[in-house]
């Protein structure tokens, strides 16, 4: 079988890439191994993720499906105090910031919506597992897949998109090097869904809440519909192991010990989903594009779940990937050593900027809250939304970079002093 673009994975990254590409007239084949709908974690969307959905013409359907409307996120400090609020705001070059909203979603429903929308727009959808890239030297020429009945088929493509999420298909196939561990690699998340949680009143009831206990120890609270709320605890792996509890015991105890404001919001809860866990989810791949291929979303990088950037990156990179692939097809010569290097640099810029935001939050919480509240609240609103790809960095981002850099220097000096003594 032959196609212009083959996509591995029908999650938000793969399905969005398929839909953006379907607008270019290219033949697109999307390969997904799981039966849709399927469970996935990652439920709170950023403001610019909402705009990706609008760009795909899906706003009406998001509203019809009654996904909770999110106007912002409240981050509660230790002991429930020093909360700060970051609203979801849009931005217009002429008039500046304006009020808008995004959504939080039950991923099985949301991903199924994207998956079926891609199929409805002419994308050829295949239920199969990608098992190996097809190579001609260093050039990826397609992908070998195995369908349900263990039948093996080769799909020849001009471009292969790896959107396999944490499956990191091309990395595992040895095409793009080893994963580099991310800064938040040694973390464990334990999560489920509950009824009976107390939300903010009225229109604010769909907002995301984050509860901070101490560095790298926090909880999320994300409304999924009128009744059900996603709750999750994230802690260092050592802490989790030392507790020596079942996932269920761990989650129950933490929900009532982590932060008094979280306790207040969970007077009588009932679990309506199994308790799940995930660890070692933070990594990056340094090179994720080349002749005949590129990666989007988790297939090349995931930083940290705090502040909910994963689905946004997957969908925004899908949009950029589609535009880069359209330019590639429009170029009759196609002689560059890496036709997608500009795409890779753009993705790195956005993700590096969010890395600075997250590092500043974890490593320098007091300085971070000064920047967020007093010095650069507008820049922090832009960054939380996902407006992080500009060539000229925002002053608030430069300030975060600077405090992170000073912190790194201090840590190095401290380590050197330790090794001399």
Ligand X SMILES: Cc1cc2nc3c(=O)[nH]c(=O)nc-3n(C[C@H](O)[C@H](O)[C@H](O)COP(=O)(O)OP(=O)(O)OC[C@H]3O[C@@H](n4cnc5c(N)ncnc54)[C@H](O)[C@@H]3O)c2cc1C
Encoded tokens for 257: 């010990």
Which residue, 185 or 342, has its beta carbon nearer to ligand X? 185
Residue 311 found at the interface with ligand X (CB under 6 A): yes
Task: With CA atoms as reference, report the closest residue to 386 among 333, 311, 326.
Answer: 311
* Closest to 239 (Cα-Cα) out of 256, 261, 217: 217
Handedness of CA 34, 271, 212, 237 (dihedral sign): negative
Is 34 a binding residue for ligand X by CB under 6 A? The answer is yes
User: Is residue 206 involved in binding ligand X (CB under 6 A)?
Assistant: no
Specify the 3-state DSSP secondary structure of 89.
Answer: strand
The answer to whether 129 contacts ligand X (rule: CB under 6 A) is yes
142 binds ligand X (CB under 6 A): no
Q: Is 210 in the site for ligand X (CB under 6 A)?
A: no
Pick one of 118, 163, 303, 385: the residue that binds ligand X (CB under 6 A): 163
Which residue, 125 or 372, has its beta carbon nearer to ligand X?
A: 125
Contact call for residue 169 and ligand X (CB under 6 A): yes
* Cβ closest to ligand X, residue 29 vs residue 404: 29
The residue count for binding ligand X (CB under 6 A) is 39
- Applying CB under 6 A, among 48, 254, 261, 298 the residue interacting with ligand X is 298
| Entry field: residues in the chain | 421
Q: How far apart are CA 72 and CA 74, in angstroms?
A: 7
Among 14, 50, 142, 350, binds ligand X (CB under 6 A): 14
**Residue whose tokens read 């999924």:** 224
Q: Cβ 391 to ligand X, closest distance in Å?
A: 25
CB of 389 to ligand X, least distance (A): 17
Residue 312 found at the interface with ligand X (CB under 6 A) = yes
Q: Which of 29, 193, 308, 355 binds ligand X (CB under 6 A)?
A: 308
Q: In terms of CB distance, is 104 or 259 closer to ligand X? A: 104
d(CA 407, CA 421): 21
Q: Which of 50, 68, 133, 167 binds ligand X (CB under 6 A)?
A: 167
Smallest gap, in angstroms, from Cβ of residue 143 to ligand X? 9
The reply to whether 31 sits near ligand X by the rule CB under 6 A is yes
Minimum CB separation from ligand X for residue 280, in Å? 10
CA distances to 37, 47, 87, 263 from 226, rounded to whole Å, are 20, 21, 21, 20
User: Of 379, 378, 373, 386, whose CA–CA distance to 401 is shortest?
Assistant: 379
Q: Which window, 79-87, 302-310, 329-337, 338-346, contacts ligand X (CB under 6 A)? A: 302-310
Reading the block at residue 339, the tokens are 């036709």
The answer to whether residue 314 forms part of the interface with ligand X (CB under 6 A) is: yes
Site pattern 259..278 for ligand X (x: CB under 6 A): -------------------x
Tokens (6 digits) for 196: 């009976």
**CA 388 to each of CA 40, 44, 53: distance values in angstroms, whole numbers, following the listed order:** 25, 18, 18
Residue 37 preceded by cis peptide, ω within 30: yes
Maximum CA pair distance of the chain?
66
Closest to ligand X by CB, 43 or 158: 43
- Rule CB under 6 A: say whether 292 interacts with ligand X: no
Distance from C-alpha of 357 to C-alpha of 374, rounded to nearest angstrom? 16
Sheet holding 180-181, edge to edge: 180-181, 283-284, 301-302
Interacting stretch for ligand X, rule CB under 6 A, among 250-258, 292-300, 344-352, 373-381? Answer: 292-300
Do the Cβ atoms of 123 and 19 come closer than 8 Å?
yes
Between residue 362 and residue 421, which ones bind ligand X under the rule CB under 6 A?
Answer: none
- What is the rounded CA–CA span in Å between residue 208 and residue 117? 26
Verify binding: residue 254, ligand X, rule CB under 6 A: no
Q: Which is nearer to ligand X, 141 or 300 (CB)?
A: 300
Reported as type and span, the H/E element at residue 257 is helix 247-257
Task: Establish if 53 lies at the interface with ligand X (CB under 6 A).
Answer: no
- By C-alpha distance, which of 300, 358, 294 is closest to 179? 300
What is the binding site for ligand X (CB under 6 A)?
8-14, 31-34, 40-45, 129-130, 163-167, 169, 189, 278, 281, 297-299, 302, 305, 308-312, 314
């Amino acid at each position: 079988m032959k196609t212009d673009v083959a996509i591995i994975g029908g999650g938000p990254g793969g399905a969005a890439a398929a839909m953006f590409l379907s607008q270019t007239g290219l033949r697109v084949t999307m390969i997904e191994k799981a039966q849709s709908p399927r469970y996935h974690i990652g439920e709170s969307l950023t403001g610019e993720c909402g705009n990706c959905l609008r760009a795909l013409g899906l706003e009406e359907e998001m509203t019809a499906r009654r996904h909770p409307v999110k106007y912002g996120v409240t981050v509660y400090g230790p002991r429930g105090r020093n909360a700060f609020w970051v609203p979801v705001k849009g931005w217009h070059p002429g008039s500046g910031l304006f009020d808008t909203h995004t959504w939080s979603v039950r991923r099985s429903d949301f991903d199924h919506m994207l998956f079926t929308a891609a199929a409805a727009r002419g994308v050829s959808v295949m239920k199969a597992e990608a098992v190996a890239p097809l190579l001609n030297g260093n050039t990826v020429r397609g992908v070998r897949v195995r369908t349900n009945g263990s039948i093996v088929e080769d799909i020849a493509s001009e471009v292969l998109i790896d959107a396999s999420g944490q499956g990191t298909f091309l990395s595992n196939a040895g095409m793009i090097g080893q994963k580099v561990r991310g800064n938040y690699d040694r973390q464990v998340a334990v999560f489920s869904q509950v009824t009976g949680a107390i939300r903010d009143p009225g229109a604010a009831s769909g907002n995301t809440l984050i509860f901070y206990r101490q560095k790298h120890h926090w909880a999320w609270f994300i409304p999924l519909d009128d009744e059900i709320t996603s709750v999750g605890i994230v802690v260092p792996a050592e802490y989790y192991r030392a507790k020596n509890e079942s996932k269920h015991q761990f989650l129950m105890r933490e929900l009532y010990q982590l932060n008094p404001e979280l306790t207040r919001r969970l007077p009588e809860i009932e679990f309506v989903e199994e308790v799940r866990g995930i660890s070692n989810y933070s990594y990056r791949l340094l090179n994720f594009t080349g002749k005949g291929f590129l990666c989007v979303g988790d297939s090349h990088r995931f930083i940290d779940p705090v502040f909910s950037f994963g689905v946004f990156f997957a969908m925004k990179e899908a949009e950029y990937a589609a535009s880069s692939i359209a330019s590639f097809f429009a170029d009759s010569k196609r002689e560059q050593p890496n036709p997608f290097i500009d795409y890779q640099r753009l993705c790195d810029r956005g993700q590096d900027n969010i890395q600075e935001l997250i590092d500043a939050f974890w490593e320098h919480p007091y300085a971070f809250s000064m920047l967020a509240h007093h010095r650069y609240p507008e820049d922090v609103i832009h960054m939380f939304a996902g407006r992080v790809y500009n060539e000229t960095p925002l002053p608030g981002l430069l300030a975060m970079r600077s405090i992170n850099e000073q912190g790194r220097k201090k840590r190095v000096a401290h380590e050197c002093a330790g090794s001399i003594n």
